[in-house]
Amino acid sequence: MNSEELTTWELLRETLESGDEQQLRAVVADLPTAEATQALLHLDQAEQKDILVALKPEDAADLIEEYPEQPAIDLIESLSANEAASILGEVESDVQADFLQEIDEDDVDAILANMEPHVAADARALAKYDADTAGGLMHPHVFHFSTESRVSDVLDQFVSGAEDFERYRGHHPYVVDPSGRLVGVISLRNLLLSARNRQLTEIMTAPISVKASATIDQVEDIFDEEEFLGLPVVDDDGLLIGAISRATLADELRDRADIEQLKRQGIVEDELRSMPLGVRSKRRLSWLSVNILLNIMAASVIAMYEDTLSAVIALAVFLPIVSDMSGCSGNQAVAVSMRELTLGVIKPNEFLRVWRKEAGVGVINGLALGLLLGTAAWMWKGNPYLGMVVGAALAMNTVVAVSIGGCVPLLLKFFGTDPAVASGPILTTITDMVGFFLVLSMAALAMPLLI
């Protein structure tokens, strides 16, 4: 098979097996970074490792920054401390800190020991911030000047420090006092229209900043309100310690959305098919084995009322409708609680307040949905009592579902469990069990009227 017939990943594998590192580097250099990353992810971890080690550190860093988080961490941990240090030393500081927070502590110490001292210092400083805060998202290199600086100093920096300016990601220049406190920001328009000898303090405006402890959602709110390219980050004393670019925030929000979606589907950690079979199977089974037990519990309710179901077979049509509609209502409540927890609008111990709010919505929506389903059942079978049973069951189960959906995320958060992973299965199991019980128990009581 000639090279024109090979897929990109097959070409990488063939070049790697040839042992020609120069050719391997040339092949990777000819590929767009995203395409090269996709090709690497088709290979097994040993092959990925060999390719990264063969590349120049800066090229390997470009690839590792495009990786999903968990596969990237697994790959870095497979490298020697020196190899990992040479690659991580080239990635952006905020990404570097994210990696180091997830790697085993002993490995981190070994990697940092092999880095340039100033690079290691930056990494240690950023790694102390949680990944889901402004401090964990910021870039530590900030385009800043002292209160004594003039317009000419900034313009000269633009001209002579192109490489540094790229590192600052095009942020507006910030002004700090002698102690390092942020006191102003310079708009590029004011900068270009001002005389070169004017002091920056004469043309600066009051800055909008965010503390390092701020949540990502708080950062997002500011970017939504202001058309900033970057947002300065300060510590509790007001000292300028970094900046967050709009592009970095957008990447983070996209990654969070992807992770949340995977969690709701039972993929708790990043999974790729190039991972070892045993690892992938174990991760999925940890979720599926719990789910099968929960489903058995829900099915046991039906088994208890087998005679009722046999006598009124029409109930079998409405059982999944009651459970599914209640589940949808509950999932809406889960989504609201997750959002409010993220924004800090509610605290994990506010169960009673959340329950009262959700119960009110549940009563109104339950009555409306129950009336619709009950009417449909009545019209289908011509039996108003069947409509009353399934309609009442849906109405009551909707109240239960929104109550559970609103409060379970708080309860899980209170006990330190990830709500995104566990809320769904708990909600589904409870709404199924309660829904089945309500339909079948009320049907059993009203059996003479249904037959």
185 backbone dihedrals φ, ψ, rounded to 5°: -135, 145
- Per-residue pLDDT for 4 more than 60? no
Percent of the chain with pLDDT over 90: 24
Q: How confident is the model at residue 275 (pLDDT cuts 50, 70, 90)?
A: low
Structure tokens at 56: 């120049």
How do residues 196-251 score in pLDDT, each as one tens digit? Answer: 999 999 999 998 999 999 988 889 889 888 888 889 999 999 999 988 888 888 87
pLDDT in the model for residue 234: 93
Q: In what order do the strands lie in the sheet with 240-245?
A: 210-211, 230-234, 240-245
pLDDT in the model for residue 1: 44
Q: How confident is the model at residue 179 (pLDDT cuts 50, 70, 90)?
A: very high
- Per-residue pLDDT for 181 more than 80? yes
- Per-residue pLDDT for 375 more than 90? yes
Beta carbons of 51 and 25 less than 8 angstroms apart: no
Structural domains for the chain: 3-128 (1.25.60.10), 144-247 (3.10.580.10), 277-450 (1.10.357.20)
Q: How far apart are CA 348 and CA 423, in angstroms?
A: 14
Amino acid at 40: L
Helix, strand, coil percentages in the chain from 3-state DSSP, rounded to 5: 70, 5, 25
- Per-residue pLDDT for 51 more than 80? yes
pLDDT in the model for residue 97: 79
Q: How does strand 174-176 pair with strand 144-146?
A: parallel
- Per-residue pLDDT for 415 more than 70? yes
Lowest mean pLDDT of 61-65, 127-131, 382-386, name the range.
127-131
pLDDT in the model for residue 217: 83
Structure tokens at 320: 């999944």
CA of residue 93 relative to chain centroid, distance: 19
Q: How far apart are CA 59 and CA 184, in angstroms?
A: 37
E-strand stretches of 91-209: 144-146, 174-176, 182-185
The count of other CB atoms within 10 Å of the CB of residue 70 is 17
> Phi/psi class of residue 129: alpha, beta or left (left: φ > 0; alpha: ψ in -120 to 50)?
beta
How do residues 135-175 score in pLDDT, each as one tens digit? Answer: 888 888 788 899 999 999 888 887 765 555 555 555 688 99
Beta carbons of 85 and 112 less than 8 angstroms apart: yes
pLDDT in the model for residue 149: 92
Structure tokens at 95: 């990404």
Nearest to 123 by CA among 96, 99, 103, 141: 96
416-425, long-range: CB within 8 Å, 24+ apart, which pairs?
418/263, 419/334, 419/337, 419/338, 419/341, 420/260, 420/263, 420/264, 420/338, 421/263, 421/268, 423/334, 423/338, 424/264, 424/331, 424/334, 425/290, 425/291, 425/294
Percent of the chain with pLDDT over 70: 87
| Residue partners of 310: CB distance under 8 A and separation at least 6 | none
Q: How confident is the model at residue 3 (pLDDT cuts 50, 70, 90)?
A: very low
CA torsion angle 151 153 155 160 (round to 10) = 180
How do residues 291-337 score in pLDDT, each as one tens digit? Answer: 677 777 777 887 788 778 777 888 888 888 998 898 889 888 888 88
Q: How confident is the model at residue 67 (pLDDT cuts 50, 70, 90)?
A: confident
Amino acid at 416: G
pLDDT in the model for residue 54: 92
Beta carbons of 61 and 36 less than 8 angstroms apart: no
Beta carbons of 50 and 83 less than 8 angstroms apart: no
The radius of gyration computed from the CA coordinates of the chain, to the nearest angstrom, equals: 29
Nearest to 244 by CA among 205, 218, 276, 264: 218
Bridge partners for 181 per DSSP:
239
How do residues 22-47 score in pLDDT, each as one tens digit? Answer: 898 998 888 888 888 888 888 888 89
If you write DSSP's letter for every residue of 59-95 in order, what string do you get?
HHHHHHHHS-HHHHHHHHHHS-HHHHHHHHTTS-HHH
- Per-residue pLDDT for 425 more than 80? no
Average pLDDT, the chain: 83
